[in-house]
Amino acid sequence: MDPVTRLGVVGCGLMGSGIAEVAALGGLDVRIAEATHDAVEAGRRRITASLDRGVRRGRLSEERRDRALAGLSFTHDLSDLADRQFVVEAVAENRDIKTDVLCTLDKAVEDPAAILATNTSSIPVVDLAVVTERPAQVVGMHFFNPVPVQRLVEVIPALTTSQETVRRTRDFAGQLGKQVIQAPDRSGFVVNALLVPYLLSAVRMVESGGALPDDIDQGMELGCAHPMGPLRLLDLIGLDTAQAVAESMYEEFKEPLYAPPALLRRMVAAGHLGRKTGRGFYSYHA
């Protein structure tokens, strides 16, 4: 198969905009679908601001930025992705929402060999693949935030995913300059199966009064050479996303370490979701 030249991305939040940016910088024709005009404009601003930062910091030329922006188009209608060779779904980490998107894409994308990839961070891929008429072409492709910086992609084949789909997905990740690891189709895959219990343990430590957030984060940054402490990382991920991932993992394994702590649930209920809302374990200002 030829390299992917026409990519569809569904969702233009933190993950979708990052995937679209990297693909556009790689010279692909990228069409992004979002539900509302406001979401489209927010995604466009996010991508433009990121590319502009690259120019200011000397990582990008103005010419390359402009080519990337010219390679992006936006739509509200998933049927506008009909001609895409590869589509990455990057909507909210919610089984029902992802199922609806994949069912619609399955009918909209004309090429029966086109791959539908889900950027889920915790939902078993087989549960999403079987709602389509092309389960052999559905695969997990888990990017990491921020996508333009993080080199890793987890490729997760379901029981239904063909070997050809796996090969093409690995090749596509290579087109984007990413390093691939293949992960089992179980909630959490490789990275989150190890990471989530660690993050939730940090929340429990705050919840019990055992230590302050900044002391926990400095301990892991200065004592273990982590680039970011667990509570700052939770704020970056989004506490609602972290809760959804933990709930999915707990649903599958019933392992207490995966259960979201009460403090996390209450912060999400209060709208203290981290950087994206300006307040989480820390306060953020524009």
Choosing from 21, 89, 93, 154, the catalytic residue is 154
SS3 assignment, position 225: coil
Helices 239-253 and 262-269, axial angle in degrees (round to 10):
140
Choosing from 50, 119, 122, 192, the catalytic residue is 192
Contact 252, 120 (CB under 8 A): no
94: annotated active-site residue: no
**Over the range 207-226, which residues count as b (16 or more CB within 10 Å of their CB) and which as e?**
eeeeeebeebbebbeeeeee
Q: What is the pLDDT along the chain (286 residues), one digit of tens a residue?
A: 689 999 999 999 999 999 999 999 999 999 999 999 999 999 999 999 999 999 999 999 999 999 999 999 999 999 999 999 999 999 998 999 999 999 999 999 999 999 999 999 889 999 999 999 999 999 999 999 899 999 999 999 999 999 999 999 999 999 999 999 999 999 999 999 999 999 999 999 999 999 999 999 999 999 999 999 999 999 999 999 999 999 999 999 999 999 999 999 999 999 999 999 999 999 998 5
Stated pTM of the model: 0.90
- Helical (H) or strand (E) element with 33: strand 29-33
What whole-number distance in Å separates Cα of residue 93 and Cα of residue 255?
20
Choosing from 121, 122, 187, 248, the catalytic residue is 121
272: annotated active-site residue: no
61: annotated active-site residue: no
154: annotated active-site residue: yes
What whole-number distance in Å separates Cα of residue 103 and Cα of residue 98?
9
As a residue count, the chain comes to 286
Domains of the chain: 6-182 (3.40.50.720), 191-277 (1.10.1040.10)
